[in-house]
Amino acid sequence: MHAPALELPSIASIKRLGLADTFVRRNALLYGRIRRQIEDFEALAPDEQRHWRAVRLERMLRAARRTGYGRTHGCACPLSEWPLLEKEAVRDRHGEFLATSAAFAVQGSTSGTSGIPLNLKRSVVSVVYEQVMFDRLLERAGLDAARCRAAVLRGDDVKDPADRAPPYWKPANGGRRLIFSSNHLDRDTVEHFVRQLREYRPDLLLAYPTVLESLCALMLERGLELSIPITVCASEVLTRHTAELASSALATRVIGHYGQAERVAWAAGEPATGYRFDPTYSINELVHIESEPDAEIYELIGTGLWNRAMPLIRYRTGDQIRLRRGADPLAVAAGRESFLDVIGRNGDFLVAPSGARLMGIDHIPRGVPNVVRTQFIQESPERTRLLVVPGAEFGEESLELLRAHAALKLPPAMTLVIETTKRLERNTSGKAPLVLRRF
């Protein structure tokens, strides 16, 4: 039996207090040690690096074998003999994946782009490691990660969607972050956004690619310009078109990084040059899906090497990556070769009557009990249906929570109709995306 989890606050709630950097993500007892481990790894010869990864993997497998899931499926098996792990299993049997180290863990959650809500636990070590990874990404771009000023243009809830008057932003982290409400960005408000960005003068813009594209398109339409040295995108596909648009409007270098709330793989790069997995982060497996004229498509299976509180072994991310013809899949999986891009993860937004792209809608089902899967069917800017595949005890409490979450994301001019269903709708490729737009 694993010990009852003594849950630390979620990272999101700690961020609001401005304490995340000091007490969790840059924890003084862990941060320097983890950086040295990564730097030492990079100085090793290839054979020594493989040994380092094998040792780290065995630690994760030992932690996984102590979970209910591991006792049933893992035993003393090597990695290759563990079954592939589906998102639904993690959702439905959450407690079976918690190791003894989950007694002191950070709470996390995601709905995922597939619409499958997951509750997650992350060890403090894995949270600090994630921050080290991000800091090193910024440092390679020439920024001081701990001191740079960043504007944030993602899916954060800054104010009531019905409140259309500025300001559309709020400071955080002692003024080192300025968080904007992307759900208020449209033709009528873009000049307020640009004016505040000019005044704040960020070193870094942290953005969802779809919001970045909206900002830059609206700026170029109005003849507005800014200069922000570095832009970092995540959580959605970053296309070459978006990067070029941002370069024109913001005179910025655009970097993308890929990961998941489940913390089973990490890659970073740029659309023009490709992406590379980090070998200290995970053991990756690539399963061939199909061939294109100039590329090969693979599904990504990941086993993280740091989160021993909730070790997920051979986890099916649901993401596909594109490799150039002739690339070695084993070398790509191990981080020795780059790949072209990640497929999927875009289009997960709603369009408001004002034309704004409403981001962070995957947060609406997050943390709502007895929700199996969700899907948004937007029929017009004024009307959207939320399809819910309900759990056994789905009822009025879950409905009220969905409505409350939606009120934080959607303006009053939008009607959200919640419907329960046995199956979600699929697109022409047979997939059931989080968002389907019908206009």
Q: What is the band of 344 on the pLDDT scale with cuts at 50, 70, 90?
A: low
User: Residue 267 above 70 pLDDT?
Assistant: yes
Torsion of CA 59, 139, 211, 340, to 10 degrees: -60
How high is the pLDDT of residue 14? Answer: 47
How high is the pLDDT of residue 6? Answer: 42
How high is the pLDDT of residue 424? Answer: 83
Specify the 3-state DSSP secondary structure of 185. coil
Q: Is residue 401 part of a domain?
A: yes
Answer yes or no: are the C-beta atoms of 298 and 64 closer than 8 Å.
no
Query: Which of 331, 318, 327 minimizes the C-alpha distance to 433?
Result: 318
Query: Among the residues of 201-275, which ranges form H helices?
Result: 209-222, 240-250
Q: Is residue 103 part of a domain?
A: no
Distant-in-sequence, close-in-space partners of 273: CB < 8 Å, separation ≥ 6: 338
Exposure string of 342-354, with b = 16+ CB inside 10 Å and e = fewer, is: bbbbbebbbbbeb
Q: Is residue 391 part of a domain?
A: yes
How high is the pLDDT of residue 214? Answer: 87
How high is the pLDDT of residue 189? Answer: 94
Residue type, 297: I
Q: Is residue 421 part of a domain?
A: yes
- pTM, rounded to two decimals: 0.83
Query: Which of 439, 242, 437, 239 minimizes the C-alpha distance to 350?
Result: 437
**346-404 residue pLDDT tens:** 557 899 999 888 887 888 988 898 888 889 999 999 999 999 988 889 999 999 999 99
Q: Is residue 115 part of a domain?
A: no
**276-320 residue pLDDT tens:** 999 999 999 999 988 988 999 999 999 999 999 999 999 999 898
Using a 10 angstrom Cβ sphere, with 0-12 exposed, 13-18 middle and 19 or more buried, the burial of residue 212 is buried
How high is the pLDDT of residue 8? Answer: 47
Average pLDDT over the chain reads: 89
Q: Is residue 400 part of a domain?
A: yes
DSSP 436: E
**219-242 residue pLDDT tens:** 998 999 999 999 999 988 888 989
* For residues 26-40, average pLDDT: 96
Question: Which CATH number fits the domain that encloses residue 430?
Answer: 3.30.300.30
For residue 146, what are its two tokens? 């701990």
What residue ranges in 127-277 does DSSP mark as E strands? 150-153, 169-172, 177-180, 204-207, 230-233, 253-258, 267-270, 274-277
Q: What is the band of 157 on the pLDDT scale with cuts at 50, 70, 90?
A: confident
Q: What is the band of 7 on the pLDDT scale with cuts at 50, 70, 90?
A: very low
Q: What is the band of 149 on the pLDDT scale with cuts at 50, 70, 90?
A: very high
**159-190 residue pLDDT tens:** 998 899 999 999 999 999 999 998 899 989 99
Q: What percent of the chain has pLDDT over 70?
A: 91
Q: Which whole-number Å values give the CA distances from 208 to 105, 234, 369, in the listed order?
A: 27, 6, 27
How high is the pLDDT of residue 384? Answer: 97
Q: Is residue 180 part of a domain?
A: no
Answer yes or no: are the C-beta atoms of 242 and 254 closer than 8 Å.
yes
Question: What residue numbers bound the domain in which 370 lies?
Answer: 364-437
How high is the pLDDT of residue 392? Answer: 84
Domain count, the chain: 1
Sheet holding 150-153, edge to edge: 169-172, 177-180, 150-153, 204-207, 230-233, 253-258, 267-270, 274-277
Higher pLDDT pick, 170 / 344: 170
Query: Which of 238, 272, 262, 397 minimizes the C-alpha distance to 316?
Result: 262
CA distance 136 to 217: 30
* For residues 48-76, average pLDDT: 92
Q: Is residue 404 part of a domain?
A: yes
Distant-in-sequence, close-in-space partners of 178: CB < 8 Å, separation ≥ 6: 149, 150, 151, 152, 169, 170, 171, 172, 196, 200, 202
Q: What is the band of 48 on the pLDDT scale with cuts at 50, 70, 90?
A: very high
How high is the pLDDT of residue 346? Answer: 54
> What residues are paired with 284 via a beta bridge?
302
How high is the pLDDT of residue 439? Answer: 85
How high is the pLDDT of residue 341? Answer: 93
